[in-house]
Amino acid sequence: MRQDLRRQDLKRQAPGRQDLKPARLSPRDILRVGAVGLRARRTRVVLSALGIAIGIATMVAVVGLSESSRADLMARLDRLGTNLLTAEAGEDATGRPVQLPRSAVAMVERIGPVRHATATADVEARIRRSDLVPEERTAGVTTQAARTDLLSTLGGEVARGTWLTPAGEHLPTTVLGAVAADRLGITRTGETIMMNETRVVVVGILRPIELVPTLDRVALVGFPAAERYFGFDGHPTTIFERSTDASVEDVRAVLARTISPGNAGSVKVSRPSDALAAKAATDKGLTTLMLGLGAVALLVGGVGVANTMVISVLERRQEIGLRRSLGATRNAVRLQFLTESLLLSALGGASGALLGAAATYGFARAQGWTAVVPPWSLAGGLAATLLIGVVAGLYPAIRASRLHPTVALNAT
């Protein structure tokens, strides 16, 4: 009779037991539990997060510096203009050098969209610092004849002295390019140099000309002076022209035929700004390489996080066993260690993003660039760290959740 009553009592209690459910951790509780594990091992956390920080800082800095450099280059292109074309004398079908007609500039000016046209020409004149220097020692400086409108067409500037004037282009005076002045040891105007056996006065020194850097290494004299003192025949070597931006390609298509109607193939037409644009493309390839190195650093940081989490699981088996004995579910344990891994990676990612942005701003400012840190690089860096955190913490979290409470409590 008593046994029957006891069975009935157990049956009445059974439904109540089936209604018992383990408590669920709120997101706030999960963050607090995950943060406790990090605070207890601060030195290890800092060293592990450092690997992530280095990888993210490298990637953000590489992208930021590349974008800053490219923005500076594009600003220079806008300032210098992309509507400058050059036409140079080439070779005929037999391989012999050809001469551009003396009237080439006037012919180019007849093209409707052309706004400015000018020319330079090679001159056979050996340059020496003084008559005491042997003629064969030219210091790597050549002579070219130039028209008075050359500087305005190219957008060049005079660093010291003056440019060739309508009166000065008839006289034995010269304007030196920036590199030519340095090679000859000329630091101020009024000094003289030797061109063949003629003493020539330096009236100006140019700033570097970015679109036509070859002019930095020459000494420029006027066309009339070149004909009078150095036997120049008056045929230009290079024609420079500027047209409207919208008509650059149209002018490019007819420029060679206009300069040399019967032998257009002997005229080489180019756009100097294409070289700067090619530089931007080269910088982009280098950026891809550096991003790859940053990704390797990030991968190494992720391995460090995974290693830290695995060691943490091994060291905290008794803690895991105690929590499981007190009612923590396997899912709660998994979330705890996965949250620790995410917080550790996020700490390294945020620090790395700040370091990368600071490095970009500092270097860009030192170079005189406008600092550019694309928002997508910061967002992408943080997203990458979270992904690393999930991947690095997944195995340790699963391993921790599979520990049996009895085995974990007996671990030493």
Average pLDDT over residues 15-21: 52
Each domain of the chain, given as residue ranges in start order, spans: 25-76+278-410, 83-272
Q: Which of 167-176, 208-217, 376-385, 390-399 is modeled with the greatest confidence?
A: 167-176
pLDDT of residue 10: 45
State CA 168 to chain mean position distance: 44
Q: Are 115 and 138 in contact (CB under 8 A)?
A: no
Task: Report, as an integer, the average pLDDT of 56-80.
Answer: 76
Give SS3 for 242.
strand
| Range from 179-183, 263-267, 329-333 that averages highest in pLDDT | 179-183
- pLDDT one-digit tens code per residue, 121-168: 999 988 888 877 776 676 788 999 999 999 888 888 999 999 999 998
pLDDT at 325 over 60: yes
For residue 365, pLDDT beyond 90: no
Q: What is the mean pLDDT of residues 277-290?
A: 60
Which among 148, 173, 180, 177 has a CA at the least distance from the CA of 225? 173
> Could you give the C-alpha distances from 291 to 61, 64, 214, 388, 390, in angstroms and in order?
9, 11, 34, 16, 22
Confidence band, pLDDT 50/70/90 cuts, at residue 181: very high
